[in-house]
């Protein structure tokens, strides 16, 4: 997608692309509209038939797809603790809104049906990710409240209000810190940094 945007942004002017292969870089000059425009990277359009589901089959397919997305979300969160650059991995609401618009715009070129499918797939990804994140045992989120309730059930008496206050305070600090970090990443992204 980035290559396609680079070629389109150049208009009819030659575009220089740097290709890295086996650790060494090589510059290629591509002239849009010429015969050598195919640079060895092209995307073949595939025609895929989507099976028709009845109401029960569609519900089952929805659960299967949601479970697959949830597994990918858990795997992605695990990658954050294994050295992935968090500056590139964490997005705020501004960039998410931008990506929703970009997905819809890119898909419209393939038709309205494709655009709606891509748009709703992206929204379902965000919804499932937020569902999982909300269940993490971080204070202030639902997962934190569930943890407090479970502790009260196990202890068979209410928790110390001072402990709950400090637990909630730590949760607020974590959430506010993540919000500022996400907004800062959005600003850096749109500033071109």
pLDDT of residue 104: 74
- Token pair for residue 111? 């038709």
Rounded distance between C-alpha atoms, residue 91 and residue 142, angstroms? 21
Interval 48-72: pLDDT, tens: 777 888 899 989 988 998 999 889 8
Average pLDDT over residues 102-111: 76
Percentage of the chain modeled with pLDDT above 70: 82
In this prediction the pTM is: 0.59
pLDDT of residue 58: 87
pLDDT of residue 43: 58
Q: Which of 62, 38, 66, 182 is nearest to 126 (CA)?
A: 66
Residue 81's pLDDT band (boundaries 50, 70, 90)? confident
pLDDT of residue 33: 62
pLDDT higher at 71 or 16: 71
pLDDT higher at 62 or 83: 62
Rounded distance between C-alpha atoms, residue 92 and residue 178, angstroms? 9
Q: Are 104 and 131 in contact (CB under 8 A)?
A: no
Of 48-52, 121-125, 144-148, the range with the lowest mean pLDDT is 48-52
Question: From residue 107, how far is each of 51, 99, 166 by CA, in Å?
Answer: 21, 12, 47
């Amino acid at each position: 997608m980035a290559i396609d945007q680079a070629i389109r942004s150049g208009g009819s002017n030659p575009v220089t692309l740097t290709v890295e292969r086996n650790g060494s870089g090589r510059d290629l000059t591509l002239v849009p509209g010429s015969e050598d425009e195919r640079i060895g990277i092209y995307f073949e359009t595939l025609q895929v038939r989507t099976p028709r589901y009845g109401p029960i089959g569609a519900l089952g397919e929805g659960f299967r797809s949601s479970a697959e997305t949830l597994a990918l979300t858990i795997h992605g969160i695990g990658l954050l603790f294994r050295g992935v650059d968090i500056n590139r991995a964490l997005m705020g609401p501004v960039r998410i809104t931008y990506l929703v618009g970009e997905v819809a715009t890119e898909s419209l070129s393939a038709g309205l049906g494709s655009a709606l499918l891509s748009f709703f797939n992206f929204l379902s990804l965000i919804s499932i990710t937020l569902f999982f994140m909300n269940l993490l045992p971080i204070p202030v989120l639902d997962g934190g409240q569930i943890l407090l309730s479970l502790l009260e059930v196990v202890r068979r008496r209410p928790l110390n209000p001072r402990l709950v206050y400090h637990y909630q305070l730590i949760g607020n600090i974590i959430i506010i810190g993540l919000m500022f970090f996400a907004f800062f990443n959005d600003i850096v992204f749109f500033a071109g940094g």
